[in-house]
Amino acid sequence: MKFEVTILGSSSATPVYNRNPTAQLLNCNEKFYLIDCGEGTQQQLIKFGIKASKIDHVFISHLHGDHYFGLIGLLSSMHLNGRTKPMKLFGPEPLLDILNLQFKHSDTILKFPIEFTAIQAEQPSLIFENNDVTVETIILNHRIPCTGFKFKEKKRLRKLLVEKLEADQVPLEYYPLLKRGVDLDLPNGSTILNTDYTTDSAEPKTYCYCSDTIADGSYLNSIQDCTVLYHEATFLHDLLERAIFTHHTTALQAAEIALNTGAGKLLIGHFSSRYKTLQPLLEEAAAVFPNTELALEGVTYLI
Ligand SMILES: [Zn+2]
Ligand SMILES: [Zn+2]
């Protein structure tokens, strides 16, 4: 099953040096989940050849403009392009009022429904699930209510050893039960053990998205042992005071968090506009957590 994330925006606050405000597109089994939607997200989708019409779920972390100023434009374009299928939208409660005010004063009646779920940034909770994935909130500590998102694959069914099943002439009707891990007691008294005819599926992977937050440790339980951790790293550590004042994280702190929570890999992003080149941020983080990569726009990272 495909599980990968494409970075659409990696900048904090303002667009600079060809970097755009935050947005990411998660592909889980060919279903597309947009995570934050900074200004310029539509252009980025076009640039990277991604059809916006494929997106059926949008998750907004908080109401600082660099995380959602692209949303009204994206939804408007979907409307103009004739979208009729529902859009599931998750975000802070005032988000729907903000959108509705803009639609009201442009006399726009959307051709598709927005199914809105208001997120409470008080305790982690399950906000979405389907056959592929569950999504839980991560309660971050920022200047305004802010949540990250933990996407966890669902455990797949066991894999059939088809050649062996055919060689032993196991009837096809038993296959679905074997996939679910059931042992079969046959009428003739014999037993078919599913472990003889199936192998376990891969362990479910997790992607944790931690947007704007101070590195205070309060949310570490929520992101324990994730496969890929995206964590903001707005500043180098020499600006720790500034990071604390603005409720952001340094590259060094992001790496310490990845190390302390047993992450498989760290992606850092949300870079301050003061950094023209990003290599120093990467070096600072990788010195503590070697398996670190920069979240670069247009790049797809496997989870
Ligand atoms: Zn931000
Ligand atoms: Zn913010």
Average pLDDT over residues 200-227: 95
* CA 128 / ligand 2 centre spacing (Å): 23
Give the tokens for residue 300: 């797809």
Q: Give the separation between CA 80 and CA 75, rounded to whole angstroms.
A: 9
Look at phi and psi of residue 153 and say left if phi exceeds 0, alpha if psi is from -120 to 50, else beta: beta
Report the CATH number that the domain containing residue 137 is assigned in CATH: 3.60.15.10
> Is 142 annotated in some ligand binding site?
yes
Residue that terminates a domain, selected from 174, 199, 224 = 199
Instruction: Check whether residue 150 and residue 165 sit in a common domain.
Output: no
Instruction: Check whether residue 42 and residue 140 sit in a common domain.
Output: yes
Give the tokens for residue 277: 């080149």
Residue that terminates a domain, selected from 199, 224, 259 = 199
DSSP state of 78: H
Range scoring the smallest mean pLDDT among 125-129, 151-155, 158-162, 187-191: 187-191
Instruction: Check whether residue 219 and residue 289 sit in a common domain.
Output: yes
Considering every ligand atom, which ligand is closest to the CA of 270?
1
3-state secondary structure of 93: coil
Residue 212, domain extent: 3-156+202-302
Contact 295, 266 (CB under 8 A): no
Q: Residues 6-54: pLDDT tens digits?
A: 999 999 878 787 899 999 999 999 999 999 999 999 999 999 999 999 9
3-state secondary structure of 171: coil
User: Per 3-state DSSP, what percentage of the chain is helix, strand, and coil (rounded to 5)?
Assistant: 30, 30, 40
* CA 94 / ligand 2 centre spacing (Å): 15
Number of domains within the chain: 2
Give the tokens for residue 229: 């951790």
Instruction: Check whether residue 151 and residue 249 sit in a common domain.
Output: yes
3-state secondary structure of 77: helix
* CA 297 / ligand 2 centre spacing (Å): 19
Instruction: Check whether residue 52 and residue 193 sit in a common domain.
Output: no
CA nearest 217: which of 272, 254, 266, 262?
254
Instruction: Check whether residue 116 and residue 39 sit in a common domain.
Output: yes
| Residue located via tokens 């934050």 | 36
Is 66 labeled as catalytic in the residue annotation? Answer: yes
Contact 20, 36 (CB under 8 A): no
Q: Residues 266-277: pLDDT tens digits?
A: 999 999 999 999
Instruction: Check whether residue 238 and residue 283 sit in a common domain.
Output: yes
Q: Which secondary structure element, helix H or strand E, spans residue 244, and what is its range?
A: helix 240-245
What are the Cα distances from residue 47, in Å, to 43, 51, 247?
A: 6, 10, 32
Segments in 49-180 forming alpha helices (H): 71-80, 94-105, 162-167, 175-179
Considering every ligand atom, which ligand is closest to the CA of 64?
2
- Active-site residue (options: 56, 66, 97, 183): 66
Instruction: Check whether residue 151 and residue 163 sit in a common domain.
Output: no
Instruction: Check whether residue 225 and residue 110 sit in a common domain.
Output: yes
Q: Residues 160-195: pLDDT tens digits?
A: 999 998 988 888 888 988 998 899 888 888 888 888
Instruction: Check whether residue 82 and residue 227 sit in a common domain.
Output: yes
Residue that terminates a domain, selected from 199, 231, 255 = 199
Average pLDDT over residues 213-218: 93
Instruction: Check whether residue 178 and residue 43 sit in a common domain.
Output: no
| Residue located via tokens 């891990």 | 181
Instruction: Check whether residue 108 and residue 54 sit in a common domain.
Output: yes
Average pLDDT over residues 44-70: 97
* CA 10 / ligand 2 centre spacing (Å): 13
Q: pTM of the full predicted structure?
A: 0.92
Average pLDDT over residues 258-285: 97
